[in-house]
Copies of this chain bind each other. A is one copy, B any other.
Amino acid sequence: MKLYDGGRASNPRRVTIFLKEKGVSVPTVPVDMAALGHRAPEVTSLNPFQRLPVLELDDGTVITESVAICRYFEELHPDPPLFGRDPLEKALVEMWDRRVELIYFAAVAAAFRHLHPAMAGWEVPQVPEWGEVNKPKALDFLGFLNEELAGRACIAGERFSIADITMLVAFDLMKPARITCPPELNHVWRWYRETSSRPSAAIARV
């Protein structure tokens, strides 16, 4: 198999961290997204939505979408479990991964893509008003999460999961999105210090 990797962009990094946490090594085809390599014919033929990462299996089957790629490896290599161990834990990991992705990551990404000058060729058309509307949404989520993390170690419970990985790449995207986590959110910062110091997190940091 081959993983077409977009380096430090959030979703490619999400899969790279996941694989590192799993201890799984996959042959990689680096794609230079800054040079719009994800829009080249080779990637477009694999994923018409021109998004990375893309996993191509030996028989030519293509899996796109970062979480789908992660789930494939979870099924092939169950240890350590990063999607939960039993029905309830699996449901709670999915709940938290979706809350982080759909409420927080989406808001940070909207601020980044609709407001950053470098994104003008990526997000067409940019709608700056939409970018601005999303900044307080991201901050509201951080305030909510701070209270949650007062009572537990990780995003979805006491065990590290894919929800921590999603939160980490989204948190790091705040820098180019020009959103600052308030210093008084001490539980979020404690979580960030612990998570970003894992060896897996050093990969392709923004």
Q: Which A residues are closer than 8 A to B by beta carbons?
A: 48-49, 57, 61, 63-65, 67-69, 71-72, 75-76, 86-88, 90-92, 94-95, 98-99, 102-103, 125, 127, 129-130, 133, 144
Q: Which of B86, B90, B99 contacts A49 (CB 8 A)?
A: B99
Q: A72-B87, A91-B75, A99-B65 are in contact. Are A133 and B127 (CB under 8 A)?
A: yes
Tell me what chain A mostly uses at the interface: helix, strand, loop, or mixed.
helix
- Contact at B63–A91, with CB atoms within 8 Å? yes
Rounded to whole angstroms, the CA-CA distance of A144 and B48 in the bound complex is 9
How distant is A170 from chain B, measured CB to nearest CB, in Å? 14
How distant is A148 from chain B, measured CB to nearest CB, in Å? 10
Besides A65-B99, A75-B91, 6 new A-B residue pairs in contact (Cβ under 8 A), listed by A number:
A65-B98, A68-B98, A72-B87, A127-B127, A127-B130, A127-B133
